Amino acid sequence: MADTTDGRFEDRYEVQDEIGRGGMAIVHRVFDRVLDRHVAMKVLRTPGDSEALRALRDEARVIARLDHPGIVPIYDVLEDADGSTRILMKLVEGRSLAAILAESAVPPVAGVELHSLLQVFVKVCDAVGFAHSRGVIHRDLTPANIMVGSYGQVYVMDWGLALLRDRRSAAAPIAPNTGVSGSPAYMAPEQARGRLQDIGPATDVFGLGAILYHVLMLHPPWHGTTSVDVFTQATAGRVPPPTPLRPDLELPAGLCRIAMKALAAEPRDRHASIEALRGEVEVFLRGGGWFDVATFPKGSLILREGDPGVTAYIVVSGTCEIHRLADGRKERLRVVGPGEVFGEVAFFTETPRTANVEATTDVSVLVVTRAALERELEQSSWMRAFVRAAIDRFVELDRASLKALK
């Protein structure tokens, strides 16, 4: 660590305005006269606090080992003769994800805004996944600790509560800290219960799930009128699912499933890694995430002839038989399996079902509603135009064929 007792700090650096303040430290904007640039300087609020000083130094060491575009780099650590310490780091120009979400009156559940937020989320996953590969657990992932730069840069901030894991995979705090630490509204149950030995990569999976939940609901998973309320919820670990809380919104079913899996009370029930969570969000971005999932046991009737055609289905797993009843006898038309669609004719033409669909094995399907299909098509303007033109042509031909039969 560089020694600044000879006064060279004041010769080189001009301390300007305060740009951030937390429980332990203050961050100032500083001008570097030698390199002609602004940097951020982090100093303790109470310089004589030895435990806070140790935590600040350890935070600097952690960040120094995390050379990643999504993690703000450390430039230097400077110490004075009295033991006070300054951390100099890259100055991030932008806004926190918390500030961006606070601007929305209703959850950004569709379109360009949701797509942009999920792109930010994927970059956060990249940074946190890299930290895990270096044995570092963040332990305080919140929208307030995510900075979004003016040109799309995304940074994971505030590594002051990070944990290191040794080769035996035992989590150990960088600075001594045996109590409950973190942001209660986004805290994993094992964290709220103070079970330091149980904190690991799955704890950060929960934190990322909590951020995704905030994107969907515009509030964190745990919220109440008092801190006791929040801690009680976090300790219990039962996150309320988004859809029942906001029946007025057409929430993306796939994204809700991803968030709730990440927010499972038990670490073993969450995504196995940050990469697994990231992968599911990318699948959602590629399409299909607005469709709900339904399962049917073997032998069940999924669609009945004559019923209204308000949904179509995409088979995920299993097989179904499509048949009609003629003089009380079953007339098989075809069998559909994974990747195939049924119920689309009545869905597009808004006419009653013309056949029955029966599960010949246990079946899992994506449920396509008109609202969900519209949401999916919002992600691509050219695809929306193409599909709508195809649907119009399909309906036109169907009506023409019915007229010819008459």
H helix or E strand, kind and range, residue 3: strand 2-3
CB 345 within 8 A of CB 335: no
Measured CA to CA, the distance from residue 100 to residue 149 in angstroms comes to 11
CB 79 within 8 A of CB 4: yes
Measured CA to CA, the distance from residue 344 to residue 398 in angstroms comes to 12
Of 213, 228, 287, 250, give the one whose Cα is nearest residue 110: 250
**CA dihedral for 315, 320, 324, 328, sign (positive or negative):** negative
Both tokens assigned to 128: 């946190």
Of 347, 382, 188, give the one whose Cα is nearest residue 266: 188
CB 153 within 8 A of CB 94: yes
Of 123, 200, 183, 187, give the one whose Cα is nearest residue 156: 123
**CA dihedral for 200, 205, 210, 211, sign (positive or negative):** positive
Can you tell me whether residue 228 is helix, strand or coil? helix
Of 190, 194, 204, give the one whose Cα is nearest residue 134: 204
Measured CA to CA, the distance from residue 218 to residue 390 in angstroms comes to 37
According to DSSP H, which parts of 218-252 are helical? Answer: 227-236, 242-245
CB 129 within 8 A of CB 136: no
Question: Which residues are CB-contacts of 64 (< 8 A; sequence separation ≥ 6)?
Answer: 74
Both tokens assigned to 192: 């709220």
Chain Cα centroid distance, residue 337: 31
State the catalytic residue, choosing from 140, 248, 269, 327.
Answer: 140
Both tokens assigned to 208: 């990322």
CB 289 within 8 A of CB 259: no
Task: Respond yes or no: is residue 140 known to be catalytic.
Answer: yes
Residues with a catalytic annotation lie at 140
